[in-house]
Chain A
Amino acid sequence: MSMLPSCREVSRLLSEAHESGRPLGMHARIHLGICAVCRRVLAQFAVLRHGAARAPEEGPSLSSEAKARLRRFLNG
């Protein structure tokens, strides 16, 4: 059996490293050096976080009924 972790194991290690901010271990880094697909997933986790953490600048608005209700509420 190979000493190197499998794609299955590396995907978990990538998520954990993403979580903790700690660097990956040597065996996982060697795996990434030879596995383009796992490198892709590493980058995609970062893209996911980047997009998810943003405040949406456009999109749905409050309905006019909801605004009227909130205005009444604030005016006591």
Chain B
Amino acid sequence: MTDPSTWVDAYGDRLFRYALSRVRNEASAEDLIQDTLLTGFKSRANFKGDSSELTWLTGILRNKIFEYYRRQAKEFPLSPSDEESDPDDEFFDGRHWAVAPRDWGGEPALKAESVEFAAALRSCLDALTQNVARAFILREMEGVTPQVTALALGVSPPHLAVLLYRARMRLRRCLERTYFAPEPT
């Protein structure tokens, strides 16, 4: 293992980018990095070298991100009345799409790997309510299982499904407008 005093220069920026893409606030991202480096420092005897130091520290950071959202959900519990009203009224007119989703052009999966996509996603996440954003970040960005996500957010699995549906629909529409298929001006 390398000297922990070199970690900030070696891994700081990459850990920060990861944290910032998940917590949406620079001060919180920096706090998470500080906690991550401290935990890494204290538990460095546990590092077995099976993965790279960066992967190991990222694993610690991901636990910190999970705890961050679990704490937030406890401090600011979801309000069911906000999120359980019919979430698809804004997308549909009767049985059909109010505005039909557009084609995202060639190779959208490749386009979703770009720096510009990451920036557009960040801005679209900012437009979601906290509750919907938390659900999407834990489930889709962090890959936490539905059961554990629901438990961490203090919601029932059907409520989580509603939050995720709303997140996917709003992000889909926002990314279409701002990144994948903006209307010509």
Contact = CB atoms under 8 A, between A and B. Distances in A.
Interface string A29-51: 00000000100110111111111
Nearest to A72: B8
Contacts of B26: 60
A51 B97 CA distance: 25
A53 B118 contact: no
Contacts of B119: 59
B88 interface: yes
Nearest to B91: A11
Nearest to A44: B172
Interface residues of A, number: 42
Given A11-B169, A51-B113, A70 B118 contact: no
Contact of A60 (B17, B108, B171, B176): B17
B165 A15 contact: yes
Size class of the contact patch on chain B: 35 or more
B168 interface: yes
B5 A74 contact: yes
B95 A8 contact: yes
Contacts, number: 140
B96 A6 contact: yes
Contact of B100 (A37, A70, A75): A37
Contacts of A75: 5
A53 to B, nearest CB: 6
B68 interface: no
Contacts of B47: none
A67 B9 contact: yes
B140 A52 contact: yes
B112 interface: yes
B104 interface: yes
Interface in B86-119: 88, 91-92, 94-97, 100-101, 103-104, 108-109, 112-113, 115, 117-119
30 contacts: A8-B88, A8-B91, A11-B92, A15-B165, A16-B161, A19-B161, A20-B146, A40-B104, A44-B101, A44-B108, A45-B168, A45-B172, A49-B140, A50-B112, A51-B117, A55-B21, A55-B58, A56-B115, A57-B17, A58-B17, A58-B115, A59-B119, A60-B16, A60-B26, A62-B12, A71-B8, A73-B38, A74-B4, A74-B8, A74-B38
Interface of A: 6-9, 11-12, 15-16, 18-20, 37, 40-41, 43-62, 66-67, 69-71, 73-75
